[in-house]
Amino acid sequence: MTPFGRKLRAMRDERGLSLKTMAEGLQVSSSYLSALEHGRRGSPSWFMVQRIIAYFNVIWDEAEELQRLAETSHPRVVVDTAGLDPAATELAHLLAAKIAGLSAKSLRDLKKAVRDAAARDHVDGA
């Protein structure tokens, strides 16, 4: 499941909507909506995200969160390390090989470590 799919399902569940009801409201198939929730489809288009925002009648922060989650929820990620330090290529391969076996806590810790390192390098000018 992608971050967008998790949020979409939570919004649907909070409102007590069935997959079929929501799919009909969005004028998409239930199978498409299910695939979107489970991460078996790529990121939704900007137009689809806008339809979801309108369907749920959400504004501001929640609408922005949906758009951000959609942009970072494609289940197949390509990491281009061409021209980078060889350690970047090694790290990308290590992550690809090991990510499926990491716990939710380890994933959160790793995400925080990467964000912290990027912020530190940005400040240091590295």
pLDDT at 116: 94
Encoding tokens for residue 27? Answer: 């004028």
- The average pLDDT across 108-119 equals 94
52 shares a domain with 104: no
Q: Is 20 among the domain residues?
A: yes
Q: Identify which of 7, 25, 109 has the alpha carbon closest to the alpha carbon of residue 65.
A: 7
52 shares a domain with 10: yes
Q: Is 42 among the domain residues?
A: yes
Q: Which uninterrupted H or E stretch holds 9?
A: helix 3-14
Tell me the pLDDT band of 122, cut-offs 50, 70 and 90: confident
Please check the confidence at residue 126 and state whether its pLDDT lies above 70.
Answer: no
Q: Are 52 and 26 in contact (CB under 8 A)?
A: yes
12 shares a domain with 60: yes
Structural domain range at position 67? 3-71
Give the three-state DSSP class for 57: coil
38 shares a domain with 9: yes
Please check the confidence at residue 30 and state whether its pLDDT lies above 60.
Answer: yes
64 shares a domain with 7: yes
The string over 55-79, giving b where at least 16 C-beta atoms fall within 10 Å of a residue's C-beta and e elsewhere, is bbeeeeeebeebbebbeebeeeeee
Q: Which uninterrupted H or E stretch holds 69?
A: helix 60-71
54 shares a domain with 12: yes
Q: 123 vs 78, which has greater pLDDT? A: 78
Q: 41 vs 113, which has greater pLDDT? A: 113
Q: 125 vs 120, which has greater pLDDT? A: 120
